[in-house]
Amino acid sequence: MSAAKLIDEIIAREGGYTNHAADLGGPTAFGITEAVARANGYTGLMRDFKRDMAVAIYTRQYVNEPGFNKVLEVSPTIAEEMIDTGVNMGVSLPGPWLQRILNALNQQGRAFPDLVVDGQIGPATIAALRTVLSQRGVDGEVAIARALNCLQGNRYLEITEKRPANEAFFFGWMLNRVGIA
């Protein structure tokens, strides 16, 4: 699957313009918050924000800059989970989560040395991912995607427990963002 297709699916889930009172992100269009739009040079009203601007931001900020495009070349399934999580929770979480998961799958260092859990999707992380997938095949891909989903679901619960106003979103997050492959 291409980055463009993944972004189309994310935009379909996010919908158009929203301004929910309980959403700390404030006015949002196509899943892009006003703060993110402003940081990317947009100065207009969020209800007028264009889809092509959202696509450009998603591609740059949520696919390429965090290195998730490198994962996409190896496993669209895993990359889809990482990109979606990055969009909904921030790009700083999926990279370390993937590295932790890969470390748990390295057979106590026999398959590859433990990765530094720094969130940087570099050659060592990609090589480790390739190793797990070559050893475990489709089952390895499913296990990694499920582990990422478990961490994402746990994070939703934590932020909802910390901020009760997020109860307005918890059901939808669990229904639409956390899935089992």
Do residues 61 and 83 both lie within one domain? no
Do residues 150 and 81 both lie within one domain? yes
Do residues 113 and 158 both lie within one domain? yes
Do residues 90 and 149 both lie within one domain? yes
| Residues 172, 149: Cα–Cα separation, whole Å | 14
pLDDT at 93 over 60: yes
Do residues 56 and 128 both lie within one domain? no
Domain count, the chain: 2
Do residues 75 and 161 both lie within one domain? yes
Domain that holds residue 53: 1-65
Do residues 96 and 165 both lie within one domain? yes
Do residues 31 and 52 both lie within one domain? yes
| Crossing angle between the packed helical segments 94-104 and 76-89, to the nearest 10 degrees | 140
Phi, psi of 52 (to 5 degrees): -65, -30
Do residues 48 and 83 both lie within one domain? no
One-letter amino acid at 113 equals P
Do residues 32 and 79 both lie within one domain? no
Do residues 18 and 86 both lie within one domain? no
What Å distances lie between residue 179 and 7, 30, 147, 152, 176, CA to CA? Answer: 18, 21, 11, 10, 7
What's the pLDDT band for 180 if we cut at 50, 70, 90?
low
Region of residue 22 (left: phi > 0; alpha: psi -120 to 50; beta: else): alpha
What's the pLDDT band for 177 if we cut at 50, 70, 90?
confident
Do residues 58 and 19 both lie within one domain? yes
One-letter amino acid at 160 equals T
What's the pLDDT band for 13 if we cut at 50, 70, 90?
confident
Q: Tell me the per-residue pLDDT of 129-176, one tens digit each, with 9 for 90 and over.
A: 999 999 999 999 999 999 999 999 999 999 999 999 989 888 888 887
